[in-house]
Amino acid sequence: MMSRPVQIFCACSGFMLVVLLFGGLIAADWIPPLSPAESADEVAQRYADNANGIRLGAVLMLFGAGFTVPLGALIAAHIKRIEGDFSPLAYIQIIGSAGGLFAITLPVLIFGAAAFRPDRDPELLQLMTDLGWVPFIINGPPAIMQAVSFGVAILSDKRENPPFPRWLGYFNFWAAFCFLPAFLLLFFKTGPFAWNGLLSFWLAAALFGGWFLICSVMLLRAVPPAGAAPEVRRPTAVTSL
Amino acid sequence: MTAEAADLDRPVVVPDPAGPADGRRIPGEEGLWVFILGDMAVFALFFGTILVTRGQDPSMFDAAQHHLHPWLGIVNTALLLTGSLFVVHGVRRLGDGTPASSRLFALTLVCALGFAAIKVTEYTMLVGEGYTGATNDFFMYYFVFTGIHLAHLVIGTVIVAFLVRVAARPEPTAGQRKFVECGAIYWHMVDLLWLVLFPLLYLIR
């Protein structure tokens, strides 16, 4: 099948995203994340101590964000096979994936710009940190759209040998649910709902990374073996895929 | 004992043609339990959060707790448990040729709507008395966690409304039976989560 290497590349991009995103966070010394309760001077000290780490982290995370695209595109292609010609779920997946790219890219660019001049006024550095961390953690809806559209598609797959197990559909719903508590971070500077808290950060980050890893593994398993006969197209399947 | 005989011994009369022949089978479908157990694990984190926060300032928690309305909570607990009882019997009588199953799910629906109405009443009373999420940590967690639970209940209400329709069919298909079981499991989870949340917020001393 022509697209086999492409499928393998797309499926593996979830691994790349996790390595680069969490690698970037570690390089920036943001695992565990800084607390929203830190004073402007404490925040400024972090940039002074580790400007190059934050710059490197921003670059790593920027490229990590790019890998949301091939993964989302491969999922969308699978969804389109399930849905056939009329495929709103596939479009939700594509747009959600684009939103996910934005959700990671925007805060990372701000982190990079903040670390570009670490000797700036501490108040301004704190403002940029807020501008980065708040959207970075709160921006779950694109990922929720991706997870829910993939989950609905898996559970509605009526083909004889579906490429994905049904538990993956339910797992997608659960992941979407776990991204929800993060929206509370606007109301807290300490505790489990703060942007560095158990429920807003650790649960959401674990499930976000876990979602990409599990999707990657399951998409790899769904790649047809080399030399396999191409799938017989159903009458409704779209030929432009 | 043959597989058929083992099948007859099962307490719940919901045969699953796709199930394993030894009579052991997972209610609903396997995959659903990924969601159920995952969701309950997240609620376990919520419960831990309440206990840890309480441990940091028990006197504030005790003082704030007195402003809740335990009787409304007790009535709501009774409503959810009664709803669960209706669900159990609704699943048992599914497809027995009478409208009983559908009616039992309709009674569950009444319990669910009653719970939601009482919850909203209690929120309104608390806000009227001057207690909001901004009052202190206790009320913040009270509103957030009961709110997340209420969102689960609303989803459950929509599911039970579908169960009323599906159960009205004289001969439900295997797929419809599975759907009814999955919906019933979800309802029981909503009930179970409240059974922990209620004492943690209203009763613990």
pLDDT tens digits, residue range B16-41?
555 555 667 888 888 999 999 999 99
Mutate to test the interface with A, among B29, B30, B35 (most CBs of A within 10 A): B35
Q: Does B5 touch chain A (CB under 8 A)?
A: no
Question: Is CATH 1.20.120.80 what the domain over B28-203 is classified as, yes or no?
Answer: yes
Domain ranges of chain B: 28-203
Neighbours of B31 (CB within 10 A): 20
The answer to whether the Cα torsion of A25, A26, A30, A31 is positive or negative is positive
User: Does A234 fall in a domain?
Assistant: no
User: Does A236 fall in a domain?
Assistant: no
Distance CA A4, CA A228 (A): 10
**pLDDT at residue number B139:** 92
**Tens digits of pLDDT across chain A (241 residues):** 458 999 999 999 999 999 999 999 999 999 999 999 999 999 999 999 999 999 999 999 999 999 999 999 999 999 999 999 999 999 999 999 999 999 999 999 999 999 999 999 999 999 999 999 999 999 999 999 999 999 999 999 999 999 999 999 999 999 998 888 888 899 889 888 999 999 999 999 999 999 999 999 999 999 988 877 666 555 554 444 4
Flag if A171 and B53 touch (Cβ within 8 Å). no
**pLDDT at residue number A237:** 47
Look at residue B10 and tell me whether its pLDDT is greater than 90.
no
Distance CA A7, CA A3 (A): 6
Question: Which residue segment(s) compose the domain that A44 sits in?
Answer: 4-221
Among candidates A102, A15, A108, which has minimal Cα distance to A61? A108
Instruction: Compare CB distances from B29 to A166, A173, A191 and report the shortest one's residue.
Output: A166
Contacts of A165 in chain B (CB under 8 A): 31
Q: Does B4 touch chain A (CB under 8 A)?
A: no
Q: How many domains does chain A have?
A: 1
Contacts of B133 in chain A (CB under 8 A): 187
Contacts of A167 in chain B (CB under 8 A): 30-31, 34
pLDDT one-digit tens code per residue, B145-157: 999 999 999 999 9
Contacts of A170 in chain B (CB under 8 A): 31-35
Chain A residues in contact with chain B using a Cβ-Cβ cutoff of 8 Å: 165-171, 173-174, 177-178, 180-181, 184, 187, 191-193, 198-199, 203
User: Does A207 fall in a domain?
Assistant: yes
Structure tokens that stand for B111 in this block:
């319990």
Flag if A174 and B53 touch (Cβ within 8 Å). no
The alpha carbon of B9 is separated from its chain's Cα centroid by a whole number of angstroms, namely 28
At B47, the amino acid letter reads: F
Does this complex have an ipTM over 0.85?
no
Flag if B35 and A192 touch (Cβ within 8 Å). no
Structure tokens that stand for A157 in this block:
């797959």
User: Does A126 fall in a domain?
Assistant: yes
Structure tokens that stand for A53 in this block:
């780490």
Look at residue B13 and tell me whether its pLDDT is greater than 90.
no
Contacts of A191 in chain B (CB under 8 A): 49, 53, 137
Alpha carbon distance, N-terminus to C-terminus of chain B: 53
A56 and A23 Cβ atoms separated by less than 8 Å: no
Q: Does B31 touch chain A (CB under 8 A)?
A: yes
